[in-house]
Copies of this chain bind each other. A is one copy, B any other.
Amino acid sequence: MNFIDELKFDEKGLIPVVTQDFENNQVLMLAYANREAVEMTVEKGTVHYFSRSRNELWHKGETSGHFQHVKEMFYDCDADALLIKVIQDGAACHTGKRSCFYRNIKGEEVL
């Protein structure tokens, strides 16, 4: 059975994806995928998401060149979240930061 058939997509057809640096385990970003995005990620070997703001398939890196090359993929105990370990070209964040989680709760930029 294909793992995609086990995944629980939400009422919008989405599943959250945590993307992690394969080399140093830094959490790079959290975004969402629909079924097509998961299929494309597996097929192409680079991470695809579903952009909720643009309402379309989003091949990460297509405009920035900052592709995410899949090394390992996991799903959680409830099958309602994905974890993808990647080799990150350039920066994961659109701000140019390596990780989107660059601010701590004091508002300090720590990365």
Give A residues with C-beta under 8 Å from B.
1, 3, 16, 18, 20, 24-27, 29-30, 42, 72-78, 81, 83, 93-95, 97, 100-107, 110
Q: Which residues of B sit under 8 angstroms from A75, Cβ to Cβ?
A: 101, 103, 105
- Name which residue of chain B comes closest to A79, CB basis: B103
**How many identical chains are in the complex?**
2
Known: A16-B16, A74-B103. 16 other contacts (CB 8 A): A1-B107, A16-B30, A18-B27, A27-B27, A42-B105, A73-B105, A74-B101, A74-B110, A75-B101, A76-B100, A76-B101, A76-B103, A77-B93, A77-B95, A81-B100, A81-B101
In the bound complex, CA of A10 to CA of B81 (Å): 17
